Amino acid sequence: AQSVTQLDSHVSVSEGTPVLLRCNYSSSYSPSLFWYVQHPNKGLQLLLKYTSAATLVKGINGFEAEFKKSETSFHLTKPSAHMSDAAEYFCVVSFSGNTPLVFGKGTRLSVIA
Amino acid sequence: GAVVSQHPSRVICKSGTSVKIECRSLDFQATTMFWYRQFPKQSLMLMATSNEGSKATYEQGVEKDKFLINHASLTLSTLTVTSAHPEDSSFYICSATSGTEVGQPQHFGDGTRLSIL
């Protein structure tokens, strides 16, 4: 069975400081992992994905994530937060392209001016 | 690329009304589409999976006669909430994928806010 745990329901950072959103996963197979972002009353936008290639994945808007098999983690980072980064972030596990995604519960990122 | 359009973005209607939500893949063929429901401050809950030309697969606890899903073409899936009641008020989101390969991402619509009075 696959599962995803987002360790923080809410993270608050000051503008210009680093962002760390934590995600641990459990999967019986080699997983595909994604980070999606959701702004209020909007759908989900893909930030980045890991599919067993490079363990450090770069995404849009300056975000990146590192897949660590030994720690079963896929944490999302950004060197410098911007006000527009304030949103809900979801860590997601997938087995194949046409099977349902397994979502974490989400982490709300607040950015303080 | 990989744009999914969901319409309408917001619906307000009276109890007992049936509401149809459309999900279209604009620049790719969506072999599989998914319908989710999201309650305030919660994650997405999968309602059903639909493959083009076949019956949708509903998750446990989702009433298939209440939430009718049609995936008649490779670019369009519809969700009809029949005889909607206030407890059906929610944010509904669709997603679509073009393939079965490992790592193929799902692309999401912008969601539909359904409010039943």
**Mean pLDDT of all residues belonging to chain B:** 92
Using an 8 Å CB-CB cutoff, list chain B residues near A42.
110-111
Q: Amino acid identity of A77?
A: T
The pLDDT value recorded for residue A64 is 97
Which carries the bigger pLDDT value, residue B15 or residue B53?
Answer: B15
Cα–Cα distance for residue pair B25/B32, rounded to 1 Å:
11
Contact at CB, A46 and B43, closer than 8 angstroms: no
The pLDDT value recorded for residue B66 is 96
Picking from A44, A50, A100, the nearest residue to B108 by CB comes out as: A44
Distance from CA of B42 to the nearest CA of A (A): 7
The pLDDT value recorded for residue A99 is 75
Chain B touched by A100 (CB under 8 Å): yes
Residues of B with CB under 8 A from a CB of A: 4, 6, 31-32, 34, 41-44, 46, 49, 51, 91, 93, 95, 97-111, 113
Q: Report the DSSP pairing between strands B112-116 and B10-13.
A: parallel
Q: Give backbone dihedrals phi and psi of B56, rounded to 5 degrees, phi first.
A: -70, 150
